[in-house]
């Protein structure tokens, strides 16, 4: 997952939501409000992030060697780099450096960012949410997995294109990725940008009302959240 000799030192294994993540100590600050330039590897994701955040209140904030995104200061998603790998985490109360997916593939990173930031975008615009991915046996069979030296972490390769490879725990984001790659990056992106979720995800639209209840349960005052009248 992370090469030997890296400057950041692993310090512990921790269990979160019954999944073991690899934690490490970082010398960088956690979350800053003054944005720095994108790290070189993240430059490849900059156009995607710009499109997904445009016209919304969703903005990236500095976190580790990358960025964190949130909805009403909850439901955090973070992407950053360690040497030549993209790392990703999802958390509730604050950005987490306990990543559950890492990859060298910019294409894999693109699919993950589209789904994660795209979901925040649609929630911010009061657009229908996209249902959590349900993998069919046929979609699952397009991937091959192999064990790694880390407990509960496997390597997954897309059979049709072995360069699409990642290390991951058995998490919802993995299933979303395995579902998403059946579409082109362009169609997947446009489906999160378009209100009707076309061209790829229209059949998977669902109400955002459960998300509002989730925010309320997290302590967010939703009484002043008024959906825009049109055009969003």
Q: How confident is the model over 140-178, as pLDDT tens digits? A: 999 999 999 999 999 999 999 999 999 999 999 999 999
Q: Quote the tokens at residue 225.
A: 């959240």
217/232: higher pLDDT: 217
Structural contact between residues 199 and 190, judged by C-beta atoms closer than 8 angstroms: yes
pLDDT for the residue 104:
97
Q: Quote the tokens at residue 145.
A: 């997995």
In whole angstroms, give the CA distance from residue 165 to residue 148: 13
pLDDT for the residue 49:
94
If you ran DSSP here, which 8-state letter would residue 12 be given? E
Length of the chain equals 232
Domain boundaries, the chain: 9-132+172-217
pLDDT for the residue 92:
83
Which residue reads 């992407």 in tokens? 79
Instruction: Look at residue 96 and tell me whether its pLDDT is greater than 70.
Output: yes
pLDDT for the residue 155:
98
DSSP strands (E only) in the chain: 9-16, 19-25, 31-32, 61-63, 66-71, 74-82, 85-91, 101-103, 129-130, 143-147, 154-158, 161-168, 205-206
Structural contact between residues 101 and 174, judged by C-beta atoms closer than 8 angstroms: yes
pLDDT for the residue 122:
93
Taking the CA atoms of 221, 223, 224 and 226 in sequence, report the sign of the dihedral they define. positive
In whole angstroms, give the CA distance from residue 108 to residue 173: 12
Q: Which of 87-101, 155-169, 196-210, 212-226 has the highest mean pLDDT?
A: 155-169
In whole angstroms, give the CA distance from residue 197 to residue 21: 32
Structural contact between residues 101 and 88, judged by C-beta atoms closer than 8 angstroms: yes
What is the rounded average pLDDT for all residues in the chain?
80
Instruction: Look at residue 25 and tell me whether its pLDDT is greater than 90.
Output: no
- What percent of the chain has a predicted confidence (pLDDT) above 90? 58
Structural contact between residues 137 and 199, judged by C-beta atoms closer than 8 angstroms: no
In whole angstroms, give the CA distance from residue 222 to residue 232: 18
**Residue pLDDT, tens place only, 124-137:** 898 999 999 989 99
- What percent of the chain has a predicted confidence (pLDDT) above 70? 72
Instruction: Look at residue 17 and tell me whether its pLDDT is greater than 60.
Output: no
């Amino acid at each position: 997952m992370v090469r030997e000799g890296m400057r950041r030192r692993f310090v512990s294994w921790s269990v979160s939501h019954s999944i073991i993540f690899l934690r490490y100590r970082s010398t960088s600050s956690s979350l800053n409000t003054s944005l720095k330039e994108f790290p070189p590897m993240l430059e490849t994701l900059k156009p995607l992030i710009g499109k997904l955040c445009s016209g919304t209140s969703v903005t990236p904030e500095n976190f580790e060697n990358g960025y964190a995104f949130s909805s009403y200061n909850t439901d955090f998603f973070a992407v950053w780099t360690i040497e030549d790998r993209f790392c990703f985490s999802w958390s509730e109360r604050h950005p987490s450096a306990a990543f559950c997916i890492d990859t060298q593939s910019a294409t894999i990173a693109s699919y993950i960012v589209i789904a994660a930031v795209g979901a925040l975008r649609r929630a911010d615009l009061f657009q229908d949410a996209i249902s959590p991915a349900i993998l069919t046996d046929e979609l699952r069979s397009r991937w091959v997995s192999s064990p790694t030296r880390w407990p509960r972490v496997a390597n997954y390769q897309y059979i049709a294109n072995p360069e699409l490879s990642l290390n991951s725990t058995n998490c919802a984001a993995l299933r979303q990725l395995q579902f998403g790659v059946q579409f082109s990056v362009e169609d997947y992106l446009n489906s999160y940008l378009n209100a009707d979720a076309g061209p790829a995800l229209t059949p998977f639209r669902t109400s955002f009302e459960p998300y509002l209840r989730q925010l309320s349960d997290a302590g967010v005052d939703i009484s002043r959240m008024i959906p825009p009248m049109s055009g969003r």
